[in-house]
Structure 1
Amino acid sequence: MSIQEDSLDFSLISDLFLAHGSLQSPSFLDGRLCAQIALTDLSPEAWLDEVCSALGVDEPSDRDAAAQLLEWRKRTEERLSASELGYEPLIPDDIYSISEQAQGLKDWCLGFCEVLSEVEHDIRDQWPSALKEALEDVNTLCGIETDLDNTAENENDLFALTEHARMAAMLLYTQQHPGQPDVEQVDENDPEVTRH
């Protein structure tokens, strides 16, 4: 079975998790995946082991499931390293309620920050202030309010917060992978990136 890249979304991964008998949040694992790819060389085997451990299974249920889980990792790595800056956190989309979307963002941030918490302090100290501030903002989002009404204002706020987390993830990746992608020109005039 071939996997269309655009079909690999929150709903598909959630269904895959349910098929393995797990209610684990794909967003939490996506946050971990993103941070690990940014910080280390996460092999496909190590990723499969981590997902299976989170799902409480020894291995994926079949080859299609394994292929989808590996595609998830591959797509994340490709989008973090692409010059188009196309990475998007795997959180519930607009077919879900604002509360569910907010919970997804919170879960993503918790997973992302869990990996960051394992980084040595001397490495963190060498990071530029813009990155430290962005990562501190993601840490703050771990406490985001999720009991939200479906209003346009909440939707706009959530979009802005998700964009903030997305930019922090890409800042971390570019810091750890200089020149890959070469986005200095793109970021130069971005107030989110250059603020002091």
Structure 2
Amino acid sequence: MRRITPYALLLPLVLTAAACASPDQEVALEDSVETSATSEETTGSDPTEEADEGAGGAPGTSDQVGPPDAGDTLDFGEPAAFPYPVGAYEEEFQDGVEEDVVYTVDDVAGDGAGNADFTLSVEVPELGRVFGLGNMSVECFFDEAGTPATSDDPVVEAEAGTHTMDMRCEAPQSAQNLTVVMTNAEDEATWTGPLE
């Protein structure tokens, strides 16, 4: 017994449909095929153009992960100063009178056991109020990998004076350089240097 494929069953239907179609419909069918091919060609060229535009796009729009550029960093031991108005409350701020809160990262060393230790100092001037550090975050970067820094004795509210926090973060055994990024509200500073 001879086996009939499904395509053989469809052939009479296709031939009947083609015989019943008018010439206008055939032209319309051909036009839609040409239009489809044209739109595919156009669509095919768009990704190349977009890729070219993306390659020379504005800086900061890439998916780069890691610490800020080296031009935005301080050396360990260098101070980062941020001005704050003097006065206990906003309505009591003295016009044009500001004092600097100064952050410094120093005493950086690797402990040989997979950690990096450093000291973060915050020098708070007489502002007439306590200075908040409860939402401050500190992160360490080794090449592109970031890890949070922790302290056993963090300072949450700082009176006038210098406050130091011994901090630690996990470090790869092969790490030779460390970048520390500190963020406290609008204040953000970055230090970088060798991990000794």
TM-score, normalization by structure 2: 0.20
- Of Structure 1 and Structure 2, the greater helix share is in 1
TM-score, normalization by structure 1: 0.20
Which structure exhibits the higher relative contact order, with contacts defined as CA atoms closer than 8 Å and separated by 6 or more residues? Answer: 1
Query: Which protein shows a greater Rg?
Result: 2
- Of Structure 1 and Structure 2, the greater strand share is in 2
